[in-house]
Amino acid sequence: MNILITGGAGFIGSNLAAYHIAQGDSVFVVDDFSSGSIKNIVLLQNSRNFQFAKADILVWDKLNEVTAWSDRIYHMAAIVGVKNVLADPRAVLATNITGTERLFRIISEENQQVQILLASTSEVYGFNPKSSFIESDDIIFKESKSLRWCYAITKLADEYIALAYAINPGLKVAIARLFNTIGPNQTQKHGWVVPSFINQAMRNESITIYGDGSQTRSFCDVRDMIQALDLLVSTPASYGEVVNVGNNHEISILDLAYLVKDRVGSQSEMKFISYKDAYGIQFDDIFHRRPILSKLKQLTGFTPQWTLTETLDFLIQMERKRS
């Protein structure tokens, strides 16, 4: 199978690339390194089944050619991370909306039989006050002046682009709302909480918690995530559907900090800072982000295999080997 991964040098994309190469597939990764890194794919370049182009999908002149070559496309390209979003919201709007529209237009012209996985995000649920989310839940956003939420708005727009092309001309596209994912190749560079906590704990530095730490998240091991995405895009019943993908085990950020401290055996103390001090602006955070996964299980039979503690131990062991 020929696999195209846009944003394939990013955290999830690079793990997807490694997974498919291990399956014997041919993989083409395109990435402009706005969120990804050459470090994530350097070992993959030793494989004869791997190709890479450093390019922006907004203007890349080979996109038609590679789209026609593909049997499956994972569209992961996006500017992610709160710090990146606040630093350049115009780039977020361009990459996340215009890039997606260009890709789908080219697919409709070059290869209508290709399987497509569009990566969306749990952030599209916005400020819905429910403690856990199902795909049919209302999407609620507050006043529009806070650019913090332009990422969520652009990914919601991506969903509508994909749904429009699923109806006409009938593209084979599954839309995955990804909840928090952790694993190898994720760094603290973009503000990801788990690698930040592990890095601080291993150095016995203060573990930095934004807000009071009572906000909860549900973390999925990237190995589970790529299995779920593979199954989802392989399932014809998922085409034209929006599906939550993640792990439904919920934990507060403060409890996560103490869990990391315990697994590391660290002497770190907890340090609480405001969102304004962390990001330069004050905003209300989303309090809960827990998926209801019944639709994913009904479509694919998939359930997560890795517990949070197992994933943390794996990542801590990897970090110790690098130290």
Share of residues in the chain with pLDDT > 70 (%):
98
Average pLDDT score over the chain: 94
Residue 235 has pLDDT above 90, yes or no: yes
**Across 198-225, average pLDDT:** 96
Residue 146 has pLDDT above 80, yes or no: no
Q: Which residue has the higher pLDDT, 62 or 88?
A: 62
pLDDT tier, 315 (very low <50, low <70, confident <90, very high otherwise)? very high
Structural fold of domain 2-180+220-246+292-305: Rossmann fold (3.40.50)
The answer to whether 91 and 98 have CB atoms below 8 angstroms apart is no
Q: What is the DSSP-derived secondary structure letter of residue 88?
A: -
pLDDT tier, 322 (very low <50, low <70, confident <90, very high otherwise)? confident
Domain locations along the chain: 2-180+220-246+292-305
Residue spans of alpha helices (H) in 168-293 = 193-202, 222-233, 253-264, 275-279
Helix (H), strand (E) at residue 217: strand 216-218
Backbone φ and ψ of 131, nearest 5°: -85, -15
The answer to whether 4 and 69 have CB atoms below 8 angstroms apart is yes
Widest CA span in the chain: 58
The answer to whether 213 and 265 have CB atoms below 8 angstroms apart is no
Residue 275 has pLDDT above 80, yes or no: yes
Exactly one of 151, 165, 210, 279 is catalytic; which is it? 151
Task: For residue 74, indicate whether it is catalytic.
Answer: no
pLDDT tier, 190 (very low <50, low <70, confident <90, very high otherwise)? low
**Across 278-290, average pLDDT:** 81
pTM beyond 0.85: the answer is: yes
Residue 8 has pLDDT above 80, yes or no: yes
Q: What is the DSSP-derived secondary structure letter of residue 98?
A: I
**Across 130-141, average pLDDT:** 94
Residue 286 has pLDDT above 90, yes or no: no
Closest C-alpha among 74, 92, 108 to residue 35: 92
Spatial distance between the Cα atoms of 24 and 74, rounded to a whole number of angstroms: 17
Residue 87 has pLDDT above 90, yes or no: no
